[in-house]
Amino acid sequence: MKRCDWCLKNDLYIEYHDTEWGVPVHDDQLLFEFLLLEGVQAGLSWLTVLRKRENYRQAYDNFDPVKVAAYDDAKLQELLQNEGIIRNRLKVAASVNNAKRFLEVQQEFGSFDQYIWSFVDFKPIVNHFEKLEELPARTELSDKISKDMKSRGFKFVGSTIIYAHMQATGMVNDHLISCFRHAELDGVK
């Protein structure tokens, strides 16, 4: 069974690749989880974040955006002392800010899913890359989404972070065409 090259060095990566990466996500809480995790990943490897994912689930009330939006200064200090997560002050503050912005988007569009998937006309973009080097770090579309999210007050939503979010949540299928997941996910909405 052939997989994308990027995941082959670690069992956690392989499991994530085989079960999650590129699978279309329409659940708002899971979309929020990926948004938060992609934001904290900035400057780090995704493997580092995956290894801390369970700690994040515990520390961030299972990624409930309503609860995270209500975090006060005491909770922020608690998070900054939590050795199980990435203790970057700006990223922790951004997670609370982004939860508030996330709720605003839900209010305006009915769900975050409706908002974010509207950028791809509610169907995944299926790419046909042969080599890992062909995968972009950002695209004109991720630039557009990033700009819109920044205008709404989101933090840590640069174009590269947004493109990674698009890949993780199946807005784009960037599995290599030789990978068994590419065909499995082709046509999944």
Active centre residues (catalytic)? 16, 38, 46
In sequence order, what are the residues at sequence separation of 6 or more whose Cβ sits closer than 8 angstroms to the Cβ of residue 108? 115
Query: How many whole angstroms separate alpha carbon 39 and alpha carbon 52?
Result: 14
In sequence order, what are the residues at sequence separation of 6 or more whose Cβ sits closer than 8 angstroms to the Cβ of residue 49? 37, 40, 41, 56, 86
Query: How many whole angstroms separate alpha carbon 182 and alpha carbon 27?
Result: 22
User: Rounded to an integer, what is the distance from CA 66 to the centroid of its chain?
Assistant: 18
User: By CB neighbour count within 10 A (0-12 exposed, 13-18 middle, 19+ buried), where does 24 fall?
Assistant: middle
Q: How far apart are the first and last CA of the chain?
A: 24
